[in-house]
A and B are shown apart, each in its own frame.
Chain A
């Protein structure tokens, strides 16, 4: 993992003491709320429905066990014993006191963590493939470039007051697990036809009230030009992005209004001016950062998964978990393990202090002390020996963390919604809980196959409903909660925005509606390996519409 150097330590420590002073001035009355608000937001501190909320950055979703224990400690000492992992690989604490936040940030700094770039109109915390560095289909490790971007973007003086927030995601694998096509900038590591490593740069993707799949602005960018090119894009956006209308301020609107060709011309002109300057990324710098992410000293082990694990024959529950929650590792004899934070009827993404500590202990015992946070609101142990999988599963089971539903109907992504969020119009968590209970039977989930259900409690779309195979968007009508259903969204290489299937459903009806959609799929799929989204693409929306609305 990346470790802070002297500069990083000093910078974060100075930031904490600066914020301590700002909080004190607010409490003394020297700062009004209007003056203080931008300052607290720059340190990840929001004011939500019930209390303040602190959003802590987990750069590219990578955590050490020591950091996870610190998060558990903060949850227990300063909050109400839990935290919420978000769809941007961060964690939120829902009940911190303003007076305690400087101490919380101080504690975070002790383990090289902070809450920078988790709010405001700046370049936000960079996200990446949760399987970075261990994926079997990886070309290069996205964490290296995410870390380089983090260092470039943190407090970038030119880009601290952009027209609007700015989100960057990086993937280095053939399969896109970072949803790069729905980010302001999506970066895909690739090798070109000449055999040179570089990036494809997509721009202008996003969700929210105007969901758009990003467009490719550069098919191939040499590695040394990464920061220069990003700077060029940000400059064009900073100059031309709209500041008169918050709903039209994201880069996606600019790309749409200029057209991708014109936008590309503008970026390339800026790039030509900057090229060969101080942002040039020398190979030595990439190598220096790469050293922090150098591969583990893996043991030479035979691959057991292909032959079937010995223990698995005795335990069908373990077998099911193995099938849904583990992923092939690039090294023979190892596996990537996903820990679902979606128990039946649970709150998606929530983890108690005890659960965080249990995961930290298991990471130490089985995965070199490293943990990943996924944008699906789950956790990952990236480096587990296959021969340890059964013991790991037993331990997860004891902690209630062995739910075997990754990528299936129970693995629902949901924003906090009106239960916590000041922006939300409707609740989303109880909708997720009801659907989760309806599909509690894991045999049924396996029969349904891969399915993503995403729920947002307002049009800001933090639950990424647009890219759920089944998306649910809460809207308030005359004081009542209604839920619009979209179908056919996907976040993978063939990213697509789901289409609204018809009029919304009341809170009490939405679980039935989801079940109707699923049953329609089951009865219409061409064979059992045709996934929901494939069947939807083949069938179109008509059969689903018919099933949902014919009887109404």
Chain B
């Protein structure tokens, strides 16, 4: 089943982050999921507030299925460059 999470780039360093249950996290697996319209709206409201509070540069919803991002672009964002496994979030954990 497809659910949604909020992702963004953190303002201070630009790194990929996800909206978790206690603020932003670099780990997509710890992101707060939304699977219905109401919780999606709630996520978007929190994301909008984080943008206006200048925590992140931008924020948007992405699709998650079977514990990973649906789009290749988002899978690469979650992990890091496929050609440099030593860089990005994959370097410190398995994405």
Interface residues of A (CB under 8 A from B): 26-27, 29, 32-33, 47-52, 80, 95-99, 347, 418-420, 427, 429-430, 433, 476, 479, 481
B93 contacts A by Cβ under 8 Å: no
- What per-residue 1/0 map shows which CB atoms of B45-72 lie under 8 Å from chain A? 0000001111001100000000000111
A30: nearest chain-B partner, CB-CB: B54
Contacts of A418 in B (CB 8 A): 72-73, 76
Q: Taking the nearest CB of chain A, how far is it from the CB of B83, in angstroms?
A: 5
Contact (Cβ within 8 A) B53 A50:
no
Contacts of A52 in B (CB 8 A): 13-14
Cα–Cα distance between A419 and B90 once the two chains are bound (Å)? 13
Contact A430 B16 (CB under 8 A): no
For A427, list chain B residues within 8 Å (CB). 76, 82-83
- Whether the pair A98, B76 counts as a contact (CB closer than 8 A) is no
B9 proximal to A (CB < 8 A): yes
Instruction: Report whether B72 and A479 are in contact in the complex, using a CB–CB cutoff of 8 Å.
Output: yes
B30 in the interface (beta carbon within 8 A): no
- Residue pair B15, A51 in contact (C-beta under 8 Å): yes
Chain A residues whose C-beta falls within 8 Å of the C-beta of B84 in the assembled complex: 347, 419
Residues of chain A within 8 A of B70, CB atoms compared:
479
Known: A347-B83, A420-B81, A429-B83. A47 touches B73 (CB 8 A): no
Q: Residues 7-20 of chain B: 1 if any A CB is under 8 Å from the residue's CB, otherwise 0? A: 00101111110000
B88 touches A29 (CB 8 A): no
Q: Are A47 and B9 in contact (CB under 8 A)?
A: yes
CB-CB under 8 A for A47 and B87, given A97-B13, A427-B82: no
* B1-51 residues at the A interface, CB under 8 angstroms: 9, 11-16, 51
Contact yes or no, A51 B14, CB < 8 A? yes
- The chain A residue with its CB closest to the CB of B57 is A33
B83 touching A47, Cβ below 8 Å: no
- Pick the contact of A97 from B12, B54, B71, B73 — CB < 8 Å? B12
Most chain B CB atoms below 10 A, which of A29, A47, A50, A481: A50
Complex CA gap A177/B52 in Å reads: 48
Which residue on B lies nearest to A49, using beta carbons? B77
User: Do A430 and B83 contact each other (CB < 8 Å), given the known contacts A27-B12, A49-B73, A418-B76?
Assistant: yes
Which B residues are CB-close (under 8 A) to A51? 9, 13-16
Q: Which residues of A contact B57 (CB under 8 A)?
A: 33, 47
B83 contacts A98, CB within 8 Å? no
Known: A26-B11, A49-B76, A99-B13. 5 other contacts (CB 8 A): A29-B54, A49-B16, A49-B77, A80-B87, A347-B83
Distance in Å from the Cβ of B26 to the closest Cβ of chain A?
A: 11
Q: B71 to chain A: which residues have CB within 8 Å?
A: 479
Contact partners of B82 in chain A: CB under 8 A: 419, 427, 430
CB distance from B2 to the nearest CB of A (A): 13
A52 to chain B, nearest CB (A): 4
* Whole-angstrom distance between the Cβ of B3 and the nearest chain A Cβ: 18
> Residue among B11, B58, B83, B88 with the most chain A CB within 10 A?
B83
- Distance in Å: Cβ of B14 to nearest Cβ of chain A: 4
Which residues of B sit under 8 angstroms from A50, Cβ to Cβ? 14-16, 77, 80-81, 87-88
- A33 / chain B contacts, CB cutoff of 8 Å: 51, 57-58
Tell me how far the C-beta of A99 lies from the nearest C-beta in chain B, rounded to whole angstroms: 5
Instruction: Give Cα A50–Cα B74 distance, bound, in whole angstroms.
Output: 10
Q: How far is the CB of B9 from chain A (nearest CB, A)?
A: 6
Residues of chain B with a CB closer than 8 A to A430's CB: 82-83
| Docked-complex contact A419 and B83, CB < 8 angstroms | yes
Q: Are A433 and B83 in contact (CB under 8 A)?
A: yes
Question: Which chain B residues lie closer than 8 Å to A98 at the CB level?
Answer: 11-14
Closest B-chain residue to A433, C-beta based? B83
Chain A residue with minimal CB distance to B81? Answer: A419
Contact of B54 among A27, A80, A99, A476 (CB under 8 A): A27
CB-nearest residue of chain B to A347 = B83
Q: 18 A–B contact pairs at CB < 8 A?
A: A27-B54, A47-B14, A47-B57, A47-B58, A49-B76, A50-B77, A51-B13, A51-B16, A80-B87, A95-B87, A97-B13, A98-B11, A98-B12, A98-B14, A419-B76, A420-B81, A427-B76, A427-B82
